[in-house]
Amino acid sequence: MRDGLQGGLRGGFPAAPGFDIVGAVFTAMRWMAVVYITGAMIGPGGGARAAAPIYRSAHFAVYRDRVVEGAYSARAGADGTLASDYPVAGRTGRTVWRAGVDVSRYPGLRSDYRLVDALYRLSLEEMVKDIRSDGTFMAGEKWDGVWARDISYSIVLALAAIEPEVARASLLRKVRDGRIVQDTGSGGSWPVSSDRMTWALAAWEVYEVTGARDWLKQSYDVIRASAEDDGHVVVSPETGLVWGETTFLDWREQTYPRWMQPVDIYGSQALGTNAVHYRTYRILAAMARLLGEPGQEWDERAEKIRAALNERFWIEERGFYGQYLYGGVYRALSGRPDALGEALAMLFDIAGPERQDRMLRSTPVMEYGIPCVYPQTPGIPPYHNRAVWPFVQAFWNLAAARRADGGALVQGLASIWRAAALFQTNKENFVASSGKPDGTEINSSRQLWSVAADLAMVYRVLFGMEFSEEGLKLRPVVPGELKGRWTLEGFHYRRAVLRIRVEGFGRTVKRMRMDGKRLEGAIPAGLEGEHEVVVEMAGDKLPNGGFRLAEDETAPETPVARREGGEIRWGAAAGAKGYVVYRDGKRAGAAAGLSAAAKPDGRFAEYQVSAEGVGGWESFLSEPVAVGGEQVVVEAETGAESSGEDLHGFSGAGFVEIGRRVNRTLSLRARVGHAGRYRIAVRYSNGSGPVNTDNKCAIRTLFIDGREAGPVVMPQRGMGEWSNWGMSSAVTVRLEAGEHSVDLKLEPYDENMNGEVNRAMVDYIRLVKLD
C-alpha cells in the first residue's frame, strides 16, 4: 500500500531530491490525529484557537466542546447531544443525553462554545421537568415538594427571568395566614430555622422582572407581616441580629458542633441568615416607598444588621466573615467561612469594595469548587460538610463577576460546567475533595437550584442581566477565555421579545445598540414588540484578584470539657497540636496541657476550649461549662393529670402542660435576693416531633412584672419523648431585689409553622444571676 501511495503521489507532482513524501504524509496524518484529539479541530470556527482550554486544574480541563478528567470525558456534539462516560451511580460506559423536551417558548442560546450551549439546553429541559402538575416548582427529582428556600434562591438566580408566573405561584404556595411558611427543619422549624425571608428576595425579583403592581402590594403585605412576627421572636433588640440556623445549612451536625441542640442553634446568629434579613429590610423599604408608605424604619433595621455584622463577624487576619456567633450566655465567633453567607455579604454590599476583593482572594476555594464550609468537620460524611453545591457556587460566581475577578470567575464557571457535563444532569451536590456526585448523604438529579445556577451563568454573567424599575440593564462580564459571540434568541421581557447578542470580551461595554441605534442605560421597561440588542465589549482584560486554590483540610475534633474542682479539664482531641481556653466568649489564652484554672469569684462565668490544628484552623469550641452564679428555681404547679402523658424525670411534685387550648398563660412568682442581670430559662419537654425536622416547636413570650422581656423557644426533643427534659432558650433581664411576676404567654406572633400544635410541658423556671 505504501509503495502504491508513493507512486500515485509522485505521479501528481515532483518531489524534492532525497525527500520521502510518503513518510511525510504518514507523519502529518499522525500529527493531525493528535491535534484533533487535543481539540485543535473542534467547535465552531475550528482552528488552533479551540485547542486552549477555558480552564485547566490539576485533574480536569474544560474546553469549548468538552470536559476531560483523567480517563473520563464529556463531549457536546454538533447536534446538541451531550455524551459522557463518567461513572455516576453505578453507570458505566458511554451514555448520550439528547434533547427531548419542548423548550421553544424559552430563550435559545447560540455561541462559539458548544458545551455551554448544550448545558443550557439541558438545564431548560430539567427546569420544565421540575414544574409540577399544579404549576409550581418542585425542588428536584428526589424532592417533589415546594420548598421555600429552594424555590426562592432559584427564582433569584434565574427562574423569575423566564418563568415569572410559575415563580409567583410557587411563592404563594408558601404563604399561610398572610405570612411566609418556614420549611420543616431543626427542632420543629421556625424559629430555630429562621431563613424564610429568602421568600422576600424572590418576591422582589419577580416584581422587578414583571413590574406587576398587584404582586408588589400582595408580596409587601406578606413580607411585612412576617418581618413583624420575626421582630418579636428572632431579632435581638440589642444588636438587631437575627437568631437561628444558617440559611440552607439545615442539617445540624453537618455544620455545627455535636453538642449543639436545636435550642443552641436558635441561640446562635448566622452570617448567611442575617444577610438574608438585611436584604429583606432593604426590599421592604423600597416596596414601602413605591406604595407611598414610609420606609425609614426598615432601612434603619437593615443598617443595624450591617453594622453588627461588620463589627462582630469580620475577621481581619483572615479576610472574610466568620460563619456564626454561638455558645451559651456569651457567644464566640466561629472562624470558619460560610460560602453562601460570604457571597451574599458581597452581593448585598454588606462588605465594602475593598473587603469584597479580599474575600474573593482569601475565602478557601478547592479544586472542584467552593465548599459550603471550610475546613471540614471530622467524622461527618459529605453533604453540607465536605461538599460543593452548584447553587452556592453560582452566588459566589456572581460576586466574582461583580468585582470582575477573572481568576475566581473562570474557576467558578468551570466548577458548574464540569459537574453538569460529566454527570449529564444538574446534581444537588458533589464531594469537595474528589468532585464525585456519589458519596454524599443525599444527591438528587435536576435539583432546581442547581438548574437555576447554570442558567444564571448565562443570563446574569455572560449577558449581565439586571432587572430594575427602570428596565433591563445589560452589564456582561465575559472573561477573555470566553471571548466570541453569544446570542440569546427570543428572550421575553415584559411586553417585548428580544434578540440579544454580546460580542467580544471584557467587563466594560464599549457600545450598545438596539435596532441599530445607540442605546444608553437600560432597555426600557415599557418596550413592546420584537427588537435586536447588540452589546460590544471593550476587550479589557479581567484582572486576577489573587485567587488561589486551597488544599482539603479537616479541623481537629471538638474537645469535651468538664469542671473538676477549680479547674476545667478535657481529653486529648484528634488532630490537635494545642488548645485555647475561652472565658465568656473571648479568647483567654493558650493552655499548656489538658486543663486550665477556673477562677470562681462568685460571679457567673462560662469556659470553653478549642483545639488548634496544624494548618492554623481551630476546632469548634466545646460546650460551655458554667461556673458560679446565684440561682433561683421556681417550680411549676403539678398538672400531670391533665397532660394525657405518662411522664417522669421532672424535678418537683409535677409539671404544667401549656398549649393552644390549655394554659395559654402560665403565671408564677419569683423572688431574687440581689439586684442584677438574670438569665431566665424554662426546663421543659416537647415530644411533638423529632429533633431534626417537622414544625411543632413550642414558642411563648416571657413577661416580667407585666412587661414583655423576650421569646422563650422550646424545640422538639424527639417524637413522643415527653420525659426528655431540657432547657429552653433564655432571656436576660435586669431585676431589682424582691418578688417579681413571671408569665409565659402565647401571643399571636408566637404561632409556629404547624398552626395547630404549639405544646410543651414545663417543669420549672430557672433564674441565674450573671452579675
Q: What tens digit of pLDDT does each residue of 336-365 get?
A: 999 999 999 999 999 999 999 999 999 999
C-alpha cell at 729: 432558650
pLDDT for residue 503 is more than 80: yes
Report the share of the chain in percent with pLDDT over 70.
92
pLDDT for residue 92 is more than 90: no
Query: pLDDT band at residue 646, thresholds of 50, 70 and 90?
Result: low
Mean pLDDT to the nearest integer, 711-731: 97
Mean pLDDT to the nearest integer, 177-194: 97
Sheet (strand 61-62) strand order: 55-56, 61-62, 66-69, 72-76, 82-84, 95-97
Mean pLDDT to the nearest integer, 408-430: 98
* Whole-number pLDDT of residue 637: 64
pLDDT for residue 31 is more than 60: no
pLDDT for residue 374 is more than 70: yes
What does the pLDDT look like over 564-610, one tens digit per residue? Answer: 989 999 999 999 999 999 999 999 999 989 999 997 677 899 999 99
Amino acid at 654: G
Query: pLDDT band at residue 651, thresholds of 50, 70 and 90?
Result: confident
pLDDT for residue 192 is more than 70: yes
pLDDT for residue 541 is more than 70: yes
Report the share of the chain in percent with pLDDT over 90.
87
Mean pLDDT to the nearest integer, 32-40: 38
pLDDT for residue 139 is more than 60: yes
Q: How many CA atoms lie within 13 A of 260 on its CB side?
A: 28
Residues 188 and 696: their CA atoms lie apart, in Å, by 5
Q: Is the peptide bond before 390 cis (omega within 30 degrees of 0)?
A: no
* Whole-number pLDDT of residue 517: 97
pLDDT for residue 366 is more than 80: yes
CB 500 within 8 A of CB 491: yes
Mean pLDDT to the nearest integer, 184-203: 97
Q: What Rg, from alpha-carbon coordinates, does the chain have? A: 30
Cα dihedral 96/101/103/105 (nearest 10): 170
Residues 145 and 166: their CA atoms lie apart, in Å, by 14
* Whole-number pLDDT of residue 647: 77
Query: pLDDT band at residue 299, thresholds of 50, 70 and 90?
Result: very high
CB 752 within 8 A of CB 697: yes
Amino acid at 761: M
Mean pLDDT to the nearest integer, 52-80: 97
* Whole-number pLDDT of residue 15: 36
What does the pLDDT look like over 304-317, one tens digit per residue? Answer: 999 999 999 999 99
pLDDT for residue 27 is more than 90: no
Per DSSP, 1 falls in state -
What does the pLDDT look like over 248-285, one tens digit per residue? Answer: 999 999 999 999 999 999 999 999 999 999 999 999 99
What does the pLDDT look like over 9-25, one tens digit per residue? Answer: 323 333 333 334 434 43
Mean pLDDT to the nearest integer, 96-111: 98
Residues 419 and 57: their CA atoms lie apart, in Å, by 14
Mean pLDDT to the nearest integer, 157-164: 98
Q: At what angle do helices 390-402 and 406-423 cross, to 10 degrees?
A: 150
pLDDT for residue 40 is more than 70: no
Residues 547 and 532: their CA atoms lie apart, in Å, by 37
Mean pLDDT to the nearest integer, 103-119: 98
What does the pLDDT look like over 609-640, one tens digit per residue? Answer: 999 998 899 999 999 999 988 899 998 864 33
Quick count: other Cβ atoms within 10 Å of Cβ 437? 22
Residues 347 and 367: their CA atoms lie apart, in Å, by 23
* Whole-number pLDDT of residue 90: 82
DSSP 311-375: HHTEETTTTEE-SEEEESSSEEE--S-BHHHHHHHHHTTSS-HHHHHHHHHHS-BBTTB-BSBSS
Residues 310 and 325: their CA atoms lie apart, in Å, by 13
* Whole-number pLDDT of residue 614: 85
Query: pLDDT band at residue 505, thresholds of 50, 70 and 90?
Result: very high
What does the pLDDT look like over 463-482, one tens digit per residue? Answer: 999 999 999 999 999 999 99
pLDDT for residue 50 is more than 70: no
